[in-house]
Amino acid sequence: MRGRRSGRKRIICACAGALLVGVALLAPGAGTGSTEPAYEGQKKCGSCHRSERRSWAKTVHARALDSLKAGAELEAKRKVGLDPAKDYSSDRNCIGCHVTGFGKEGGYDPADPGIYLVGVGCESCHGPGSRYKLLHREAAEKFEKTGQPTPRQALANAGQEFGFLDRCNACHMNYEGSPWKGTRKPFTPFSPQVDPKYRFDFDKAVRNDAAMHEHFRLEGVFTGPPLPPFHKDFQAKARPVAKESGE
Ligand code: HEC
Ligand code: HEC
Ligand code: HEC
Ligand code: HEC
């Protein structure tokens, strides 16, 4: 028993050096050492994905916090009995669906509102990015040097979202009497009972580039599952990434 243990220990010791190097490399982005990935804010994502960022910046998602301000969206607010003269932009019953990562590690905090977490940002849909953003860089370097793609599964394991549906539902289907199983207070005041125009049709909504962002051609740094069913369609009509001048 003892002999076997110490035999195994030697093997563990041999790996420990390599393991430590791995941990040290991961440490900066791994954040505070908690097990959940943290929110990063759209500045990080946007510095590498400028075309998507520029397109996203024009969407209602990017401006979602503005709708909570006093004087904005008067008619809509009156219709659901909200006070149009009131500022709801730090109201905890509202902001969870109008900012990025409210109440989560690294996410929006009304006491210290980071501008890169304002609105429904990249990570509201793609998942908190502290871990997978490191893989994007590493995989891109590997791809450049060797031409070898990296399995997408590694991204999913690091917290990147590929299904999307439940993330959208958490904001769009979270109302009293919703057929969605994950509902939890606070609810959105703008449910289909108020007006059928607030009904959420995922398959249609996710194809609405004006509300999400335009799609740009991927080079193939990542490969294999998991992929959403609409990925192929999006890439088939995707534009090349804009060559940067300024910004
Ligand atoms: C250091 C630069 C860098 C950062 C930071 C970065 N990415 Fe990426 N990302 C890349 C590269 C490079 C690819 C591979 C693109 C390709 O295949 O053409 C990629 C791929 C992606 C993809 C497509 C994955 C697939 O299915 O093939 C998504 C979505 C994405 N990034 C979102 C994000 C989000 C959201 C953030 C912020 C949390 C982020 N990225 C941060 C460089 C980065
Ligand atoms: C963090 C909450 C949140 C998430 C996640 C989210 N949305 Fe939204 N979405 C909103 C809010 C809030 C608005 C309205 C913004 C405004 O007018 O202030 C909106 C607006 C929209 C609109 C335009 C209005 C409409 O209904 O036609 C579409 C389309 C949409 N979202 C689709 C999606 C899809 C598809 C997903 C998932 C891939 C998604 N959203 C994820 C909160 C969210
Ligand atoms: C559970 C998520 C959620 C909460 C909580 C929430 N909202 Fe929203 N809000 C949404 C979504 C999703 C939309 C987009 C609805 C659509 O257009 O289909 C939206 C849209 C809006 C709009 C635009 C409506 C329109 O017709 O253009 C206003 C204004 C708004 N919300 C204000 C508020 C206020 C004020 C609160 C708090 C009292 C609040 N929201 C709480 C999810 C939420
Ligand atoms: C409302 C949801 C939503 C938001 C917000 C959002 N995305 Fe996306 N994004 C998507 C969906 C859906 C896809 C399609 C995924 C696929 O084709 O596999 C996508 C695809 C991508 C891709 C792959 C290439 C492409 O253009 O299709 C990149 C890169 C990306 N997003 C980056 C970003 C960045 C950076 C931000 C923030 C500035 C952002 N996204 C905000 C939903 C969103």
Look at residue 242 in the predicted model and tell me its pLDDT.
79
Domain count, the chain: 1
Look at residue 44 in the predicted model and tell me its pLDDT.
96
Look at residue 244 in the predicted model and tell me its pLDDT.
62
Average pLDDT for runs of 10 along the chain of length 247: 40 40 42 75 97 98 98 97 97 98 96 94 98 98 98 98 98 97 97 97 97 98 97 97 62
Q: Measured in angstroms, how far is the CA atom of residue 124 from the centroid of ligand 4? A: 10
Task: Indicate the top mutation candidate among 171, 176, 190 to test ligand 3's pocket, ranked by most ligand atoms within 8 A of CB.
Answer: 190
Residue 47 forms part of a structural domain: yes
Residues 6+ apart with CB under 8 A from 74: 84
Look at residue 35 in the predicted model and tell me its pLDDT.
79
Residue 232 forms part of a structural domain: yes
Residue 243 forms part of a structural domain: no
Residue 17 forms part of a structural domain: no
Residue 245 forms part of a structural domain: no
Six-digit token pair at 98?
């109008």
Name residues contacting ligand 3 (CB within 6 A).
67-68, 73, 76-77, 82, 88, 91, 93-94, 96-98, 171-172, 174, 186-190, 198
Q: Measured in angstroms, how far is the CA atom of residue 137 from the centroid of ligand 2? A: 28
Q: Is 42 in the pocket of ligand 2 (CB under 6 A)?
A: no
Closest CA to 52 of 221, 242, 207: 242
Residue 139 forms part of a structural domain: yes
Look at residue 31 in the predicted model and tell me its pLDDT.
43
Per residue, what are the HEC states of 115-180?
HHHECCCHHHHHCCCCCHHHHHHHHHHHHHHHCCCEECHHHHHCCCCCCCHHHHHHHHCCCCCCCC
> What CATH number does residue 77 fall under?
1.10.1130.10
Range of the domain at 214: 38-236
**pTM of this structure:** 0.91
| Cα–Cα distance for residue pair 247/238, rounded to 1 Å | 22
Residue type, position 38, single letter: A
Residue 26 forms part of a structural domain: no
Chain-centre distance of CA 58, in angstroms?
17
Residue 1 forms part of a structural domain: no
